[in-house]
Chain A
């Protein structure tokens, strides 16, 4: 259906080709997944199928791309419109009209289809995508998942033989992503549509792919094969594959189900590791990657944690807090004995931190106490809550965005806010930096009321990296941006630039912030915010568009920050990130806190928010591959 014949693309003004040596055929009715680190030309390759590269973007295309026999060199995008449906990364940039129904019809109108055909297909598509109730709604009022479905629907109505999707699930919450993928699955199975899709979040999509095309590096020829084969060599892979590689399974499992069926012996081996979940809550504040945050349910809670913590202090991430380690062990032991472990245990076993769990769980000091370890080293604010919201309600226009939310954040603690699109996560973050005034209840950050504090002063207490880091960046070069950040923060000149280099080496001083890759832009925005050294750092959906390497770096930095006593609150849809970073998970639904507790407790019991490793190793409480690796090292 799609044939690439020795294709390479050189962007205008670029010294080297963005994509080179692509020679492959995607047969009809196949779901083909394009993977690779960011910046390897995935979007470029997708663009060549719809003809937007090079007709719209400029640049030079060598070789030949044919779609159903039509050569994209001689056919412009509009002449391929009946054959190829394209949905880009940002669905909002895709919409031409203002209501759902008109949007679905737009492509057919352009093609000049008869009115009764259009009507029939719109009805079919509304049903197929479950959009019937939304048909007359203005698109601007839809949630992210709904918008993504409308965008896909709007290209489906023309009955394209080929569907090209660029990161269709990246911006979506786990449930909405499932929805979209189910639709794609149905298209491939029932209609024989050929789907070519690029996606960073492999844990969501890889099991649906018939074939995977891996672009290992910029300008390198692709590796093509079955998902299991390619995942064996790929530099990017989902946690379930990582677990498979760790356990030496072959062929590699791609789904949680496959992995679970193999994992019997692994579970046995892990069950015999007494440390398991134990270093748990007390140690949680310390480091990520150490088996963290699961004090309660351990079968052998008492003795092990200290030992575990000491053992694992050797990993690089822990280096930052090498000092208090011994004490951390002592602390854990003490704490476990003194009952936070015991107290948590029944709740953990029951497995469901119900709605009522919200406020009380926040009040229980279990995740916070360990702040003692980093806090002692750092001094200020030890133990006490740094940011606190009590009975907080916020309205956005006529819509109540938050209802009676109670939240406490302590120093050295990382909290993940989760929940579906539109649950109020961003509003809560915004309220903590004073962007929204509460309509009732109170919020304090470092003893101040955010919306009544001047920006300059507030900057020293709390910093927010918004969903789109570009919003923060206004200068025309990285260097100018950094200077401005130093001035804003009253920091010593060079502070911000040094932070950028520490976060991510190789960011060009003279580059325009808008030209940076997603990962570089996030590093720059993070450095800009950190220049003022705010004790509370807020991140809104930080992993959108990041590949696994960039994500791992982010995880490491956040761990370092909490170890130094910073508090971190992140709103995210990325369950794997939450599992890696957060000590505590707070789940919001319709502006209310429905769960609040240690990550392991909240996340493991939820089918939506559980990371893959947790699903595979249930009922044991492992969250990340790193924890498993560490524990296995322990066992042997």
Chain B
């Protein structure tokens, strides 16, 4: 099946992208083999490169890549400065050791840096970085506004609030720039942090005025219209939601402590069920309908299942090939690529084939320049 050009009617469900990305992330969490991790990053990067849109959030992938790189660097620096928990024999170099007082024993500053320690740290860091990059891929590919639209009806209004906040953020940045240039018009300095601080108050004033106007507009357009719901249903909703949340809290506590092992899990499940029931009933108060919600079609299944498949193969491989999936740092060996898990990771490329191709705007949308 070839991928069509994306439009509103065949847009891939945002949830499918998230499932796919979480699948890759789960796979990354089961291995420290740098070759496999690099393969995962490559897979996610390739899919992002061929399927991301021109939307602002699509640019976040680069930021996540940089974040991953920062994780690597920080971990490396700490390993070099503080030493490693892994005993190593191949000393790369030795830093002068700084003696610490007795109460800080167990912490070492400086000293020998071993190849094993560095390799171990880098593999661990690479795993975390890969996880972050996978999340970044979901961020870049899935439209956050559409994702929020898929929330249950009772949470819809929260979703709208988040969407409004997201769309007003660029406006705030534009206001900031405009007011800074206005400082120049007054003959004041328009550069430097002081200028930035000075415009903060007018920017906030403007934002406040705008949000009041927006609230008026939303009110006039029917935001918050509710259906009449029988009092019994209303009360049941409240009881279920509150009781459910309480159950979830106590249940998780029970699961995490040794005492409550017996009642923890059932209570957690019962709480979850009650909370979901409350959300469902709460949705009946809302009269909203949804305009062209993203449909969960065959392509969404393919994309999400490819992510799940990657995760499943890696989990299975972690048990079947422990040596290859988590190569030991001591003794230090060159990692080898386990073929079967690698082939499994390549399943994650499926979205690059089946997900609709974003339409490339023929001409860049003319930004209003006044």
Interface residue count on the B side (C-beta < 8 Å): 58
Interface string of A387-424 (1 = CB under 8 A from B): 00000000011110100000000000000000001101
**Residues of chain A within 8 A of B202, CB atoms compared:** 470-471, 474
B189 in contact with A109 (CB, 8 Å):
no
Write out the residue numbers on chain B whose beta carbons fall within 8 Å of the beta carbon of A114: 289
Task: Say if the beta carbon of A456 comes within 8 Å of chain B.
Answer: yes
Q: Which of A105-154 contact B (CB under 8 A)?
A: 105-115, 118-119, 122, 135-138, 140-144, 154
Q: Is A561 an interface residue (CB 8 A)?
A: no
Knowing A136-B7, A397-B367, A421-B368, the reply to whether A106 touches B181 (Cβ < 8 A) is no
A485 at the interface (CB under 8 A from B): yes
Q: A110-B225, A112-B225 are in contact. Are A455 and B190 (CB under 8 A)?
A: yes
Q: Known: A399-B369, A422-B369. Is A430-B213 also a contact (CB below 8 A)? A: no
Q: Are B370 and A467 in contact (CB under 8 A)?
A: yes
Whole-angstrom distance from the CB of A595 to the nearest CB of chain B? 19
Q: Answer whether A111 and B210 are a contact pair too, CB < 8 Å, given A97-B167, A143-B366.
A: no
Flag B279-318 by CB within 8 Å of A: 1 or 0 each.
0000000011111100000000000000000000000000
Pick the 4 closest A-B CB pairs, nearest first.
Answer: A81-B222, A459-B187, A110-B222, A105-B291
Chain A contacts for B364, CB-based, 8 A:
398-399
One digit per residue, 1 when the CB lies within 8 angstroms of any chain A CB and 0 when it does not, for chain B 156-170 equals 000010011011001
The reply on A574 being an interface residue by CB < 8 A is no
- 8 Å CB contact of B290 from A96, A109, A137: A109
- Which among B55, B163, B198, B369 is the interface contact of A424 at CB below 8 angstroms? B369
Contact between chains at B181 and A422 (CB < 8 Å): no
Q: Does A464 contact B (CB under 8 A)?
A: yes
CA distance A135 to B8 in the complex (A): 10
Residues of B within 8 A of A514 (CB): 205, 209
* Chain-B contact segment, one of A83-91, A184-192, A260-268, A273-281: A83-91
B291 engages A77 (CB within 8 Å): no
| Cα(A101)–Cα(B7), bound, Å | 12
A529 to B178, CA, bound (A): 17
How many residues does chain A have at the interface if contact means C-beta atoms less than 8 Å apart? 89
B365 sits at the interface (CB 8 A) = yes
- Given contact pairs A109-B291, A113-B289, A82 touches B370 in the complex (Cβ within 8 A): no
Q: Is B182 close to A, CB under 8 A?
A: yes
Say yes or no: A112 contacts B288, CB within 8 Å. yes
- Supply 14 A–B pairs (Cβ within 8 Å), ascending by A: A80-B220, A88-B216, A92-B210, A106-B291, A107-B222, A110-B221, A118-B291, A140-B167, A142-B368, A422-B366, A424-B369, A459-B185, A470-B206, A472-B186
Shortest beta-carbon distance, B365 to chain A, in Å? Answer: 4
Also in contact, A78 and B219, with CB within 8 A (given A111-B225, A115-B289): yes
Chain B residues within an 8 Å CB radius of A158: 221-222
Q: Is B3 interfacial (CB 8 A cutoff)?
A: no
- Which of B185, B201, B215, B225 has the most chain A CB atoms closer than 10 A to its own CB? B185
Check if A88 sits within 8 Å of B225, measured CB to CB.
no
Minimal Cβ-Cβ distance residue in B for A86: B220
* A3-35 at interface with B (beta carbon < 8 Å): none
Instruction: Return the chain B residue nearest A80 by Cβ.
Output: B220
Residue numbers in B under 8 Å from A79 (CB-CB): 225
Q: A78-B225, A514-B205 are in contact. Are A84 and B220 (CB under 8 A)?
A: yes
- Is B370 within 8 A of A466, CB to CB? no
Known contacts A114-B289, A118-B289: does B185 contact A463 (CB below 8 Å)? yes
How many angstroms from the CA of A398 to the CA of B112 in the assembled complex? 51
Besides A78-B223, A81-B221, 4 more A-B contacts (Cβ < 8 Å) are: A112-B225, A398-B364, A425-B370, A484-B186
CB-defined interface of A300-317 with B at 8 Å, one 1/0 digit per residue?
000000000000000000
Q: List which B194-222 residues lie within 8 A (CB) of chain A.
A: 198-199, 201-202, 205-206, 209-210, 213-222
Interface residue? A338 (CB, 8 A): no
Q: How far is the CB of A397 from chain B (nearest CB, A)?
A: 7
CA distance A399 to B225 in the complex (A): 42
List the A residue with the shortest CB-CB distance to B364: A398
Query: Which residues of A come within 8 Å of B, CB atoms?
Result: 50-52, 55-57, 76-82, 84, 86, 88, 90, 92-98, 101-102, 105-115, 118-119, 122, 135-138, 140-144, 154-155, 158, 396-399, 401, 421-422, 424-427, 430, 433-435, 455-456, 458-459, 463-464, 466-467, 470-472, 474, 484-485, 488-489, 514, 528-529, 532, 540, 591
Q: Is B184 an interface residue (CB 8 A)?
A: yes
| Minimum CB–CB distance for B60 against chain A, Å | 16
- Chain B residues whose C-beta falls within 8 Å of the C-beta of A52 in the assembled complex: 216, 219-220
Taking the complex as formed, is B183 at the interface, i.e. its CB lies under 8 A from any CB of chain A?
Answer: yes
Which of B8, B222, B292 is close to A78, meaning CB atoms less than 8 Å apart? B222
Residues of B within 8 Å of A154, CB to CB, are 221
Report how far A180 CA is from B73 CA in the complex, Å.
Answer: 57
Contact assessment for B222 and A96 in the assembled complex, using a CB-CB cutoff below 8 Å: no
Residue on A nearest B166 in the bound complex, by CB: A98
Does B235 reach chain A (CB closer than 8 Å)? no
Q: Which of B8, B163, B170, B368 has the most CB of A within 10 A?
A: B368
Assess whether A435 is in contact with B184, with CB atoms less than 8 Å apart. yes
CB-contact partner of B370 in A421, A488, A528, under 8 A: A421
Contacts between the two chains (Cβ within 8 Å), count: 201
Residues in B whose Cβ lies below 8 Å from that of A434: 184
Given contacts A52-B219, A107-B222, A115-B291, contact A471 B178 (CB under 8 A): yes
Nearest chain A residue, comparing its CB with the CB of B209: A514
Question: How far does the Cβ of B106 sit from chain A's closest Cβ, in whole Å?
Answer: 53
Contacting residues, chain A, for B171 (C-beta < 8 A): 92, 140
B366-A110 in contact (CB<8A):
no
Q: Are A401 and B190 in contact (CB under 8 A)?
A: no
Q: Using Cβ atoms and an 8 Å threshold, which residues of chain A touch B198?
A: 474
Known contacts A101-B8, A109-B290, A144 near B368 by CB under 8 Å: yes
- Find chain B residues with CB under 8 A from A455 CB: 183-190
Collect the chain B residues with CB atoms within 8 Å of residue A485's CB: 186
Is the beta-carbon distance between B145 and A97 smaller than 8 angstroms? yes
Inter-subunit contact A488/B186 (CB<8 Å): yes
- Are A81 and B225 within 8 A (Cβ)? yes
- Distance between A134 CB and nearest chain B CB, rounded to angstroms: 9
Report yes or no: A112 in contact with B187, Cβ–Cβ below 8 A. no
Closest beta carbon of chain B to A469's beta carbon, Å = 10
Q: How far is the CA of A398 from the CA of B184 in the complex (A)?
A: 24
- Which A residues are CB-close (under 8 A) to B206? 470
B179 at the A interface (CB under 8 A): yes
Q: Once bound together, how far apart are the Cα atoms of A122 and B289, in whole Å?
A: 14
Tell me the nearest residue of chain B to A110, going by C-beta.
B222
Residue of A nearest to B183 (CB): A455
Q: Is the CB of B184 within 8 A of A102?
A: no
Closest residue of chain A to B181, judged by CB?
Answer: A435
**B224 at the binding interface (Cβ < 8 Å):** yes
Residues in B whose Cβ lies below 8 Å from that of A466? 178, 182, 185
B287–A111 contact, CB under 8 A?
Answer: yes
A496 to B: closest C-beta gap in Å = 11
Q: Is the CB of A50 within 8 A of B220?
A: yes
Which residues of B have CB within 8 Å of A422?
366, 368-370
Query: Nearest-CB distance from A216 to chain B (Å)?
Result: 27
Is A141 touching B288 in the complex (CB atoms < 8 A)? Answer: no
Q: In the complex the two chains form, what is the Cα distance from A105 to B213 in whole Å? A: 20
CB distance from B190 to the nearest CB of A (A): 6
Docked-complex contact A97 and B163, CB < 8 angstroms: yes
Known interface pairs A96-B164, A98-B145, A514-B205; A108-B217 also in contact (CB < 8 Å)? no
A471 adjacent to B365 (CB under 8 Å):
no
Assuming A459-B186, A466-B182, is B164 touching A427 (CB within 8 A)?
Answer: no
In angstroms, how far is the closest chain A Cβ from the Cβ of B19? 24
Q: Report yes or no: A96 in contact with B186, Cβ–Cβ below 8 A.
A: no
Question: Which residues of chain A are near B187, meaning CB under 8 Å?
Answer: 455-456, 458-459, 488-489, 532
Q: CA of A242 to CA of B237 in the docked complex: distance in angstroms?
A: 66
Given contacts A140-B170, A399-B367, contact A110 B185 (CB under 8 A): no
Q: In the complex, how many angstroms separate the beta carbon of A310 from the nearest chain B beta carbon?
A: 40
> Which residues of chain A have C-beta atoms less than 8 A from B7's C-beta?
136
